[in-house]
Amino acid sequence: MMSRVLFVDDDPDVLDTLRATIETAEPEWEGAFAGSGEEALGLMASLPVDVIVSDMVMPAMDGAQLLQEVMRRHPGVVRIILSGYAEEPQALRSAGLAHQYLMKPLDYQLLSATIARAGALRALLADPRLQQVVARMGTLPSLPALYVKLQEACRASDVSLGAVANIVEQDAAMTAKMLQLVNSAFFGLRRRVASPLHAVQLLGIDMVKTLALSAHVFFGVDPLRLRACALGDQWSHGLLVGTLASRIAAFENADPETVEHARVAGLLHDTGCLVLASSTPGAYSQVIALARSQGLPLAEAETQRLGVSHAAVGAYLLGLWGLPEAIVRAVAFHHTPGRCPGGGFDALAAVHVGDALAHELYASHVIGAPSALDAPYLDEAGLLGQLPAWREACRAAVTDAAA
């Protein structure tokens, strides 16, 4: 699928370099180039664009003003901003103007991967209603500063666990959440962990980064809004589904990466609920009322009212954040695994089953009718026969960890 990518920078040399690089390195992109915000908006009026990559600091209209205007005029366009370190774009981030922030100097490979992912995900989640809902969310959670710092640190090939622990320790709330997580049933450890370094050693750098992302989604949202939507218990539901999904994957002797993907995807599978509830609280209360009064699964009530489900919204966001494709896929299809081609055992199967068993065994689900198991899908993937054994493994998962 061809993507048209519009680059905006007031430095002509930067544009020339980009033009030359794209021609040889990215045949899938059609590049467009503008030397100012005004020129970019003029171009977009007549030329459909999929992705805009804008410099932050420009004379006249700056990157933030430009992306604000793009958000208003062309809500379906993926917005990426390039920013220097010194500017600390915190205020911008919380304003949700950009779907993705990249640091200067431009890491071309990172940009390429970011655009490729945005493109792949758009193909995966091509429903125009989803595009509209996501793009209009002014408050789409952007990458948290802590995550960006960890990402930067991890680019050094010799990054130490101690250095990662030092970065995390600067954020008291994150440190508390990390310790809570390692000491919860999620990891099934029998000793108490009190030091951030020890926690980082146990979790591994990738999991710490994921936690930095998810803590932002789970705890960055105004609790009053969530209470209004009765979504207070999302964190424990996510932890439980992550625990069960990784148990199932381990039971299947899946490779360590798949076990980890199942754990992370389980933790984040219902992220879209938080995103929808915090960005459209009024409409979301109606969704919940509908699910309750009609006894519908939440995803179905969302689709009826908003045209999209939390599964698609969550997957879209996690994809833009750069989480592994297997995790994004598991989140995207956790209620409808039969729609995802592939088959066989993977993180998606683990999360789909973990979500259903979380309700069946521990009465844990969000709102409305609980997630049902898709027996035809499991049968077709050759996994239906495993269900009784998985149920036993999951029944033991939480009691074990609590022992």
Name the residue nearer to Fe ion (CB basis): 31 or 238: 238
Q: Which stretch binds Fe ion (CB under 5 A): 197-205, 221-229, 284-292, 349-357?
A: 349-357
Interface map 243-282 toward Fe ion (x if CB under 5 A)? ---------------------------x------------
End-to-end alpha-carbon separation of the chain, Å? 52
Q: Which stretch binds Fe ion (CB under 5 A): 92-100, 153-161, 340-348, 350-358?
A: 350-358
Per the CB < 8 A criterion, the answer to whether 262 and 329 are in contact is no
Name the residue nearer to Fe ion (CB basis): 115 or 332: 332
Q: Length of the chain in residues, anyone?
A: 403
Neighbouring CB atoms inside 10 A of 192's CB total: 9
Name the residue nearer to Fe ion (CB basis): 9 or 270: 270
Name the residue nearer to Fe ion (CB basis): 208 or 358: 358
Q: Rounded to whole angstroms, what are the CA distances from 52 to 1, 150, 273?
A: 17, 25, 27
Q: Which stretch binds Fe ion (CB under 5 A): 10-18, 178-186, 251-259, 347-355?
A: 347-355
The number of angstroms, rounded, from the C-alpha of 281 to the middle of its chain's C-alpha atoms is 20
Amino acid at 284: Y
Q: What angle do CA 44, 63, 36 make, to 5 degrees?
A: 55
Candidates 272, 264, 383; CA nearest to 326 is 264
The set of residues, in sequence order, having a beta carbon less than 8 Å from that of 85 and lying 6+ positions away, is 103, 104
According to CB under 5 A, which one of 355, 381, 383, 390 is a site residue for Fe ion?
Answer: 355
Give the nearest distance from C-beta 214 to Fe ion in angstroms. Answer: 14
Amino acid at 28: E
Per the CB < 8 A criterion, the answer to whether 80 and 86 are in contact is no
Give the nearest distance from C-beta 302 to Fe ion in angstroms. Answer: 10
Name the residue nearer to Fe ion (CB basis): 196 or 314: 314
Please list every residue from 156 through 215 that binds Fe ion, using CB under 5 A.
Answer: none
Give the nearest distance from C-beta 307 to Fe ion in angstroms. Answer: 17
Give the nearest distance from C-beta 310 to Fe ion in angstroms. Answer: 6
Name the residue nearer to Fe ion (CB basis): 148 or 351: 351
**Does 374 help bind Fe ion (rule: CB under 5 A)?**
no
CA distance 369 to 396: 25
The H or E element containing residue 6 is strand 3-8
Name the residue nearer to Fe ion (CB basis): 55 or 270: 270
Site residues, Fe ion (CB under 5 A): 270, 355
